[in-house]
Amino acid sequence: MIDLRSDTVTKPSQAMRKAMVNAEVGDDVYKEDPTVNRLQKYCAELFGKEGALFVPSGVMGNQLCLNAHTQPGDEVICDKNAHIFQYESGSPAMLSGLSLNLIDGENGIITPEQVEPLIRPTSAYYMPQTKVIEVENSHNVAGGVIHPIDNIKALKLLADKYNLKMHLDGARLWNASAATGISVSEYSSYFDSISVCLSKGLGAPVGSVILGDEELIEEAFRKRKSWGGGMRQIGILAAAGQYAIENNFEKLSEDHEKAKILAEHVAKLQNVEIDLDLVQTNIIMFKSKSMMVEDVLQKCKAKGLLLSIGSVGIIRAVTHLDISFEDIDSTKQILSEVFDA
């Protein structure tokens, strides 16, 4: 099977497995695992932050950061299709007592002009208090669209004006950086907290890292334990994350090239709608004008190709390091057979 459902389906290479086997380990609840300590120090320096913390998942990473910035009853402003709203099981409300004030962004991008009217006056004791502006980069539902750095800077100025925190869901920030040439530390500099994923395009089997100042990381360390995320000899997994950053970060541009090649082919198919301008990283979203999404997925699967549903009526394909250029050629052939038959 050619699996383009997500970049989460990647499997550790033999070299990554070797790094995991050889990892020096200790008890991370005592902060004594040397391999995860090395990873956290490495990431803090890479992103230009005081501290970093390895967590089991991106959901936990986002939620720990939001929790550290807020109190129950507070509010977070974000795009209506943000991952923290659509795909994190209601965690802001369930774990932290937060409400989300949603903006209808353009391809996931919210502007200061949209955000400012939603900021609650601090004198309004009968309203939830706005505490965080949340940004997702690249934006999953929008199809891997990159949030423009100038807009991030403008949002940061607005946040400072109202004494708000900025959180970045940077699950695929690595892709945004690879596509733009803007360093992760440059992106990071405009945010009080960041969550980045190791188990998507970078190819590690498990884990994310959150970054921020020492106070945030200490609070997240404490709350991670209370949420069941305290881990012991975690260096086995941290070694995979370290290997992923050092060896696979630079390969992401190849995934973007594969996505562009495939998207350009999709644009030539009959009865298909796709906006090539939105194919900016490794995610491709397109719509069939002649078949239900489920029928497309079934027909493709029968021919050896796995795709997924992006949102209602949308077909999603995601390139990753386990997909070769030859696989892309085969995918093009399968899609031609499905749509042009």
Per-residue model confidence (pLDDT) at position 209: 98
Domain of residue 58: give its range. Answer: 10-249
Quick check: is 299 in a domain? yes
Handedness of CA 138, 194, 41, 45 (dihedral sign): positive
Number of domains in the chain: 2
- Res. 70: pLDDT tops 80: yes
151 and 178 inside one domain: yes
% of the chain with per-residue pLDDT over 70: 100
Q: Of 231, 249, 267, which one is at a domain's C-terminal end? A: 249
23, two tokens: 């990892």
Quick check: is 4 in a domain? no
Quick check: is 1 in a domain? no
Cβ-contact 332, 4 below 8 angstroms: no
Q: Of 249, 278, 302, which one is at a domain's C-terminal end? A: 249
Quick check: is 20 in a domain? yes
What span, in angstroms and rounded, lies between the C-alpha atoms of 5 and 126? Answer: 45
26 and 154 inside one domain: yes
175 and 76 inside one domain: yes
282 and 228 inside one domain: no
| Average of per-residue pLDDT across 238-258 | 98
The neighbouring-strand residues paired with 23 are none
Per-residue model confidence (pLDDT) at position 29: 95
148 and 236 inside one domain: yes
* CA-closest candidate to residue 316, choices 291, 289, 279: 279
123 and 188 inside one domain: yes
Cβ-contact 320, 174 below 8 angstroms: no
Per-residue model confidence (pLDDT) at position 279: 97
Return the CATH number at 55.
3.40.640.10
pLDDT band at 312 (very low <50, low <70, confident <90, very high): confident
What span, in angstroms and rounded, lies between the C-alpha atoms of 136 and 158? Answer: 17
pLDDT band at 341 (very low <50, low <70, confident <90, very high): low
Sheet holding 208-212, edge to edge: 51-55, 208-212, 193-197, 165-170, 130-136, 75-79, 99-103
The neighbouring-strand residues paired with 113 are none
Given its phi and psi angles, is residue 86 left (phi above 0), alpha (psi -120 to 50 degrees) or beta?
A: alpha
Quick check: is 140 in a domain? yes
- Res. 155: pLDDT tops 90: yes
102 and 156 inside one domain: yes
Chain segment 32-60, per-residue pLDDT in tens: 999 999 999 999 999 999 999 999 999 99
Per-residue model confidence (pLDDT) at position 311: 82
pTM over 0.85: yes
pLDDT band at 304 (very low <50, low <70, confident <90, very high): very high
Quick check: is 257 in a domain? yes
Quick check: is 25 in a domain? yes
60 and 185 inside one domain: yes
39 and 177 inside one domain: yes
Chain segment 91-140, per-residue pLDDT in tens: 999 999 999 999 999 999 999 999 999 999 999 999 999 999 999 999 99
- In sequence order, the 6+-apart residues with CB closer than 8 A to the CB of 163 are none
51 and 67 inside one domain: yes
Chain segment 73-93, per-residue pLDDT in tens: 999 999 999 999 999 999 999
Return the CATH number at 287.
3.90.1150.10
* CA-closest candidate to residue 98, choices 88, 111, 113, 112: 88
Q: Of 200, 227, 249, which one is at a domain's C-terminal end? A: 249
Quick check: is 2 in a domain? no
Per-residue model confidence (pLDDT) at position 43: 98
Q: How confident is the prediction for the chain on average, in pLDDT?
A: 97
333 and 199 inside one domain: no
242 and 287 inside one domain: no
What span, in angstroms and rounded, lies between the C-alpha atoms of 21 and 223? Answer: 29
Q: Which residues of 289-322 are buried (b: 16+ CB within 10 A; e: fewer)?
A: eebebeebbebbeeeebebeebeeebbbbbbbbe
